Homo-oligomer: A and B are copies of this chain.
Amino acid sequence: MKKTIIKPTILPGFMELLPKEQRIFNDIVNKVTKVYEDNGCLPIDTPIIEKSEVLLAKTAGETEKQVYSFNKGSKNLSLRFDLTVPFSRYTAQYFNELTFPFKRYQIGKVYRGERNQKGRYREFYQFDVDIIGKDKLSISNDALVISLASKAFKSIGLTNYKFQISNRKILSGLLEYLKVDSAANEVMILIDKFDKIGEEIFKEELDKILDKEKSDLISKVINISGSKEEVIKSLELLNIKNDKFNLGIKELKNVSKTLELLGVQENEFLVNLKIIRGLDYYTGTVFETLLVNNEGYGSICSGGRYDNLAENYTNNILPGVGISIGLTRLFFVLKEIGFVDNYQLPSKIEYLIIPVSEINSYIYEVYNKLISLGKTVEIYFEEDKLKKKMNYANKFSIPNTIIIGEEEEINRTINLKDMNTGLQRILKLDDMNI
């Protein structure tokens, strides 16, 4: 009977890496994790599958259409589409056992049945940090989470990013002041699309919604540019009598100043009043992160402040601020811009022992000796040609090989080769102290 071979493939929209790239991906995860942990963030992990009625409590429209849902037994289940909803459920569920402010980080896969296009994934990692207060949360945390993103990027050697920061209160205060009322949502959606549609179409569309006077003022405000001091100064000079608007300026000023005090450099961020982050839950600080000269890839890290995280699950008031890195997408972008190719990651293995006669106890004696000296060692067990064995060391950039044959065993020596210089040395095992 002829065997049936099934073609080994994965679904479109799913990322899978070769070991070499996977090591780099994991190294990025480890470095970012270290930043979060060194700043007091605690890990949590939540199920990928949740009850649909819990997970989709708030969701409607576009998001819900993209969710992977299915029945199992009598239950309708869904795969999480972000880490924020499960986190809000978690915080409400274990409220009494958590210490606030609660700083949590979480990395995990999420699922969205998006249309398949380059750089868009259906299964992708998110890497989130949120700080949640009980009833209140200092504005300093808004700057802190952005400073963590800054440290995270620096820790992996990424430099050409720029945080684009705004505060939702400024625009919603302005719309309140202009009595835009029922058209407010429509205007916000339009501003959110500004970068996609361009200034001209934006203004045309805005003129259709509002009087010219109001439309002109809004256009003027969101296009204010310059250094962050200049932008803030310009906003203040508008002299708009609206509490929310002025609170927004005050918060933006505070975040901006605190960022510098936290060591985020002048050139790492700017104020961009067009940043909205959709209509959902953000209520204060909002930010995105663009790669300078590669803005077309979109934001690699976004987030903001929300007044009440878990309102679907609890009556407790839980204000918070968070950041989210779309890690799978970021890795895709880092590959595109050549960052992954240039990523230096040395071999974990320092020594490859290559037996050239039968494997015997002397081989293991050398192996154990090296391990006792704190070295990382592999033994090449297979009976292959020497060239193939050496090639294994080359493939994985193992810097040293140790050839052991009968002669070495009899003399209790090792034949050590530095793979970078090609230099070979014969060492006595018993005096060995590499």
Digitize A376-394: 1 where CB-to-B-CB distance is under 8 Å, 0 elsewhere: 1111011100000000100
Report which of B16, B54, B262 forms a contact with A45, defined as CB distance below 8 A.
Answer: B16
Report which of B7, B49, B72 forms a contact with A14, defined as CB distance below 8 A.
Answer: B49
- Segment touching B, from A131-139, A205-213, A287-295: A131-139
- Say yes or no: is A315 at the interface (Cβ < 8 Å to chain B): yes
Residues of B within 8 A of A44 (CB): 17, 19, 22
**CB within 8 Å for A99 and B140 given contacts A19-B42, A54-B9:** no
Digitize A93-124: 1 where CB-to-B-CB distance is under 8 Å, 0 elsewhere: 11001110100100001010100000000010
Residues of B within 8 A of A48 (CB): 48, 109, 123
- A interface with B by C-beta (< 8 Å): 3-11, 14, 16-19, 22-23, 25-26, 37-40, 42-51, 53-54, 57, 68, 70-73, 75, 77, 89-90, 92-94, 97-99, 101, 104, 109, 111, 113, 123, 133, 136-138, 140-141, 144, 258, 261-263, 310-315, 348-349, 359, 361, 364, 367-368, 371, 376-379, 381-383, 392, 395-396
Asked if B50 and A141 sit within 8 Å, CB to CB, the answer is: no
Residues of B within 8 A of A104 (CB): 19
Q: For the complex, give the distance between the alpha carbons of A116 and B221 in Å.
A: 58
Q: Considering only CB atoms, which chain B residue lies closest to A40 in the complex?
A: B378
Report which of B17, B140, B381 forms a contact with A101, defined as CB distance below 8 A.
Answer: B381
Q: For the complex, give the distance between the alpha carbons of A374 and B228 in Å.
A: 31
Residues of B within 8 A of A6 (CB): 53-54, 57, 312-313
Q: Considering only CB atoms, which chain B residue lies closest to A71 in the complex?
A: B70
